[in-house]
Amino acid sequence: MTKWGELWEKSLRDISVEAALKCLDDAGVDKVDSITVGTMSGGLFNAQEHLGSLVADYLGQRFVPATRVESACASGGLAVKNAYMEVASGLSQYALAVGVEKMTDVDGGDATFALATASDYDYEAFHGITFPGLYALMAVAHMKKYGTSLEQLAQVSVKNHHNGSLNPHAQFPCAVTLDQVMTSTMVADPMRLLHCSPITDGSAAVLLVPLTVAKKMNKPYAVITGIGHASDTIALCQRKDFAKLEVVEVAAQRALKMAGKTIRDIDFAEVHDCFSIAEIIVMEALGVVESGQGGPATVNGLTALDGDFPINPSGGLKSKGHPVGATGVAQVVEAVIQLRGQAGPRQIKNARTALTQNMGGSGASSIIHILEAR
């Protein structure tokens, strides 16, 4: 992946190619059979669609089949799934997945508008609600139903910023205190600035090959043993319980079943903490803890780097940043780095099995991958 942040001196095509070249260099591969690009909205952020061809062209891979996939903020996870299908269907041996979003080329208002197109535009965004508001509704529902506290929510950000302070690619590689989170600017009650993932430019890439090919490459690799992909109603208001994310439950069940595992077999997870409340509901949906126990478990250190079930060792969306189409790919990058034992000061001990959970909108789509060390 590239360094993430406000990359004013680089363009959409620059960062896509930078991440892709780093990936191909790491793998020792010059030529690929297909490219899948995960991007939420090249149209609204950059006045540029046709991103598959753009990336193939600037990567010097003329004539290579190139596909752009989109599932809002889960576009990156979808790119990895699509590359998996390229390989599993027999159409590709070397399938490159690139996630990218260049979000700072529009002004703040436009970025919020672009992101709002991940919701049900006619029934949600048109009437004025944006994503901080949607997740604030989920937070209020969770607080009311389970007694989740503001301190518990804030602890998610404290933990993720601690992890991100150990990640040189993070946009905000700085620790924050509980007090800083709890007194930061209010965005949509109870979501304050330090509960919210930022606007980010960034890209990440992974290369997928058949296992038989991977074995011959003499490079460290991880194996994708499970994929779970699900959708739900695009509008939050169509769902019965705002304090649940059923789409994550379903995707997790599918991924674990495919991998022949239970959540107890997973050593750590990268999850979609677009807002602090999201990490809490997601860990409950994955079955890491019972419903309602996400807040207390976070405060008790279960999900810390040295806890029994580390979550977001990379710093998560909160600290690492959230270039929406790149996030799902970067989750897989972090999983591979951890499984290879190359994560340095944020290395999780004896990490053998990882889960990555990427999410679109207010939970209208989710894609989960299970990766294992070899």
Catalytic residues, by residue number, are 73, 322
361 near its own copies (CB under 8 A): yes
* Stretch of residues binding its own copies (CB under 8 A), selected from 14-22, 48-56, 127-135, 297-305: 48-56
3-state secondary structure at position 49:
coil
Provide the β-strand partners of residue 270: 356
Which of 4, 18, 19, 71 contacts its own copies by CB under 8 A? 71
Does 232 interact with its own copies (rule: CB under 8 A)?
Answer: yes
Compute the distance between CA of residue 65 and CA of residue 53 in angstroms, rounded to an integer: 8
User: Which of 261, 196, 249, 205 lies closest to 80, judged by CA?
Assistant: 205
Q: Name the residue nearer to its own copies (CB basis): 124 or 284.
A: 124
CB of 32 to its own copies, least distance (A): 12
Nearer to its own copies, 148 or 365 (CB): 365
Q: Please answer whether residues 271 and 286 qualify as being in contact, where contact means their C-beta atoms are separated by less than 8 angstroms.
A: yes
Task: Give the number of residues in contact with its own copies, rule: CB under 8 A.
Answer: 68
Question: Minimum Å distance from CB 35 to its own copies?
Answer: 8
Binding flag, residue 42, its own copies (CB under 8 A) = yes
* Euclidean distance between CA atoms 195 and 182, whole angstroms: 9
How many angstroms separate the CA atoms of 157 and 280, rounded? 11
The answer to the question of residue 227 lying near its own copies (CB under 8 A) is yes
Among 365, 369, 371, 373, binds its own copies (CB under 8 A): 365
Contacts with its own copies in 110-169 (CB under 8 A)?
Answer: 113-114, 116-122, 125-126
DSSP calls for 14-41:
HHHHHHHHHHHHHHT----SEEEEE-S-
Q: How far is the CB of 215 from its own copies (least distance, A)?
A: 20
Q: What are phi and psi of 70, to 5 degrees?
A: -145, 130
Among the residue ranges 18-26, 67-75, 184-192, 193-201, the one whose residues contact its own copies (CB under 8 A): 67-75
62 binds its own copies (CB under 8 A): yes
Phi, psi for 111 (deg, rounded to 5):
-65, -40
| Total length of the chain | 374
Ramachandran bin of 102, using left for φ above 0, alpha for ψ from -120 to 50, beta for the remaining angles: beta
Residues binding its own copies (CB under 8 A): 11, 34-35, 40-44, 46-54, 56-57, 61-72, 78, 81-82, 84-86, 88-91, 113-114, 116-122, 125-126, 227, 229-235, 238, 246-247, 250, 360-361, 364-365
